Amino acid sequence: MIELYRPDNCPTCADIEAALKEMVIAHTVVTVEANQQPEGLPPKTPLPALKDNGQVITGQAAITAHLRELEEFVAAWQRFQSDACYLDEHGKAC
């Protein structure tokens, strides 16, 4: 499960949280109080931080890139579910 560690007042963090909700991907949000070290993250990890399968992602560019990867994964996953119809590159049903 993905974990989002964020400070309370953080508009960027709210956008990250909204993106995870929009993808309907399992995640938890941990709000970190000022000057607190969250359990589950290495010491002095800058916030916001995503933890995905043990990998800690920090920094706006890296988090944005990871969210894009997740979006692509979710889109591919949904496309090949049994209740979905999809077309190949020639417009034929597969």
CATH number of the domain at 47, please. 3.40.30.10
Q: Evaluate whether residue 12 is within a structural domain.
A: yes
Question: How many whole angstroms separate alpha carbon 46 and alpha carbon 25?
Answer: 23
Confidence (pLDDT) at 39: 87
Give 71's contacts (C-beta < 8 A, 6+ positions apart): 19, 23
Confidence (pLDDT) at 47: 94
Q: Evaluate whether residue 13 is within a structural domain.
A: yes
Is beta strand 49-52 parallel, antiparallel or unpaired with respect to 55-58?
antiparallel
Q: State how far Cα 17 lies from the chain centre.
A: 8
Q: Evaluate whether residue 91 is within a structural domain.
A: no
Block means of pLDDT (10 residues each) for the chain, 94 residues, are: 92 93 92 88 94 95 95 81 66 64
